[in-house]
């Protein structure tokens, strides 16, 4: 019998960046056994599920987002037997498991791409990718002027003179989704993991996949490659991509029809407007898609209200729910993002990050938490050049958009690196160095301090699960003074956030049910969020 409750609509999912979560082997790299060991911690925190970053066999040019085998486990992280143990442990604890799947591109070490390199131009093997002749008298210029997202041209030339397309790095050739073999292969991949019991997939670059069939020049290639929010419309958001999500949704529903257990598709959709975003979460396509506008909003009451209002109007109007996110493995952490450079310090950034978290958890829909967010980890901004591994840095030489700073391994215990992340067998160190100040954020200290980020998240998640006003549903804005946002949820739950720099009267009298910082009755301090139960 099919369940009438759609667990994903108001779920809180914890993103596990596997190589930085917990190392069980002492080699300095997190692994699946480490994730399994950390499941009780996540159960105690109160999340509904986890999303695992790619652990598939890979040369690791982009830390697993260059996949060489979609149906295996890289020895760095374990093997399929260990994956099955992880699945069984998660099931016992009632934790859903989502896998990260990468359908836009693969690794240049993938057997099919190697076959393409060994095959002639025009061959079926090359048709699975985007191979094209170059321009100019000798074909020595790329087929078009597209730029890669991680820097440099989007084309590389092979020995016989043709070029292949890679919208990220040369080690990540783009699939040609107009080739039926590609469609069939990903159908096989989905079923492989669904048969092993996974609860769904986070889909990387979900607005990509299809490119304009004529591969024409871009009007502004530099802008297309500047950020992931300013993407090439000729290589992104093509109409045919929606057919893929209709097919994948049908596959998931086929499995749900067998056992009543819903499988989730949540997409990384980077499109300019909430209205375009909404097209991906129509009833027969993706269940959800990350709404990055909240993550990208400046610390400003009007900006936050605009983002939330547009999402509720355009996305929730499809029948889906909004999927909120403040942090992930590609973005500067909120503690730093809200605290620098304008405020010049992490104290205010931390207060704002706590307030934003409480606001996010009060919004209707689902929420995704990135590992370490619940510990109040700041971005590690002073990593030396010689330890940086991000391909953006390797391809551009610039630190402007690098992502290593939010991927530093978690601190679990102790006063010095490796902070319990690894045993450091044979002298191995964490794959990225942990700063000394991580001691202040270690999990053992966070659990012992009731004022910590961890307790704020745990208490927020507990209330979210126990109060019928929170999770799915609607919100109603309240009239507030400038710099303050306040809204009601359901019957009597009020959330308010003071974005300003001075205390303001609270919209509700009495002691808050939960607040992001000290919040006396009747007052809402600066950079503070609070929840009240009220008959307002």
Catalytic residues: 204, 254
Query: For residues 41 and 410, what is the distance between their CA atoms, to the nearest angstrom?
Result: 13
Q: How would you class 191 by CB atoms within 10 Å of its CB: exposed for 0-12, middle for 13-18, buried for 19 or more?
A: middle
Residue with token string 């954020």: 441
Q: φ, ψ for residue 366 (rounded to 5)?
A: -100, 160
Q: Are 45 and 439 in contact (CB under 8 A)?
A: no
Query: For residues 270 and 280, what is the distance between their CA atoms, to the nearest angstrom?
Result: 11
**Three-state DSSP state, 445:** helix
The tokens for 91 are: 């099931």
Q: φ, ψ for residue 97 (rounded to 5)?
A: -130, 120
Query: For residues 180 and 183, what is the distance between their CA atoms, to the nearest angstrom?
Result: 5
All residues at 6 or more sequence positions from 259 whose CB lies less than 8 Å from its CB, including other chains: none
Q: Are 409 and 30 in contact (CB under 8 A)?
A: yes
**DSSP structural state of residue 439:** G
- Find the Cα–Cα–Cα–Cα dihedral 257, 253, 74, 25, rounded to 10°: -60
**Three-state DSSP state, 504:** strand
Query: For residues 255 and 116, what is the distance between their CA atoms, to the nearest angstrom?
Result: 34
By DSSP bridging, strand 200-203 and strand 264-267 are parallel
Q: Are 174 and 166 in contact (CB under 8 A)?
A: yes
Cα distances (angstroms) measured from residue 289 to each of 18, 240, 271, 282, 285: 22, 17, 11, 10, 10
**DSSP structural state of residue 326:** S
| Secondary structure (DSSP) of 372-410 | TGGGTPPP-----GGG---HHHHHH---TT--GGG-SPP
Residue with token string 């890289």: 74
Query: For residues 174 and 104, what is the distance between their CA atoms, to the nearest angstrom?
Result: 6
Q: What angle do CA 75, 77, 83 make, to 5 degrees?
A: 100
């Amino acid at each position: 019998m099919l369940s009438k409750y759609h667990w994903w609509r108001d779920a809180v999912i914890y993103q596990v960046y596997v190589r930085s979560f917990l190392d069980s082997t002492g080699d300095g790299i997190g692994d699946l056994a480490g994730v399994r060991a950390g499941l009780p911690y996540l159960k105690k925190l109160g999340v509904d599920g986890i999303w695992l970053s790619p652990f598939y066999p890979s040369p690791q040019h982009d830390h697993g987002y260059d996949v060489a085998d979609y149906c295996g486990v890289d020895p760095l992280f374990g093997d399929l037997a260990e994956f099955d143990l992880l699945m069984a442990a998660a099931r016992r604890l009632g934790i859903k498991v989502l896998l990260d799947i990468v359908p836009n591109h693969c690794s240049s070490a993938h057997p099919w791409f190697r076959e393409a390199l060994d095959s002639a131009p025009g061959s079926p093997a090359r048709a699975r990718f985007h191979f094209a002749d170059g321009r100019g008298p000798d074909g020595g210029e790329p087929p078009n002027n597209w730029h890669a997202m991680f820097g440099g041209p989007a084309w590389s030339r092979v020995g016989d003179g043709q070029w292949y397309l890679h919208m990220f790095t040369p080690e990540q050739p783009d699939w040609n989704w107009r080739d039926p073999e590609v469609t069939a292969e990903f159908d096989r991949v989905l079923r492989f993991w669904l048969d092993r019991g996974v609860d769904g997939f986070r889909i990387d670059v979900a607005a990509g996949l299809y490119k304009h069939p004529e591969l024409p020049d871009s009007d502004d290639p530099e802008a297309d490659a500047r950020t992931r929010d300013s993407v090439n419309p000729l290589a992104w958001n093509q109409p045919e991509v929606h057919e893929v999500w209709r097919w994948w949704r049908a596959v998931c529903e086929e499995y749900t029809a067998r056992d009543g257990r819903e499988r989730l598709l949540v997409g990384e959709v980077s499109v300019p407007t909430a209205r375009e975003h909404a097209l991906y979460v129509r009833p027969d396509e993706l269940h959800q898609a990350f709404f990055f506008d909240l993550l990208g909003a400046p610390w400003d009451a009007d900006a936050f209200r605009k983002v939330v209002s547009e999402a509720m109007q355009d996305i929730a109007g499809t029948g889906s729910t909004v999927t909120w996110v403040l942090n992930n493995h590609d973005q500067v952490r909120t503690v730093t993002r809200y605290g620098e450079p304008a405020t010049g310090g992490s104290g205010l950034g931390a207060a704002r990050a706590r307030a934003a978290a409480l606001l996010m958890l009060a919004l209707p829909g689902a929420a995704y938490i990135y590992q370490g967010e619940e510990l109040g980890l700041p971005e590690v901004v002073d990593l030396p050049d010689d330890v940086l591994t991000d391909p953006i840095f390797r391809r551009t030489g610039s630190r402007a958009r690098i992502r290593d700073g939010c991927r530093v391994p978690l601190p679990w215990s102790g006063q010095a690196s490796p902070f319990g992340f690894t045993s450091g067998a044979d002298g191995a160190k964490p794959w990225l160095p942990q700063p000394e100040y991580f001691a202040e954020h270690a999990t053992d200290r966070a659990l012992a301090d009731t004022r910590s980020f961890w307790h704020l998240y745990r208490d927020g998640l507990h209330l979210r699960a126990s109060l019928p006003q929170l999770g799915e549903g609607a919100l109603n804005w309240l009239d507030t003074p400038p710099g303050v946002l306040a809204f009601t949820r359901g019957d009597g739950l009020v959330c308010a956030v003071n974005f300003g720099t001075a205390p303001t009267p609270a919209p509700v009298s009495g002691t808050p049910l939960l607040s992001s910082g000290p919040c006396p009755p009747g007052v809402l301090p600066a950079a503070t969020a609070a929840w009240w139960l009220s008959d307002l």
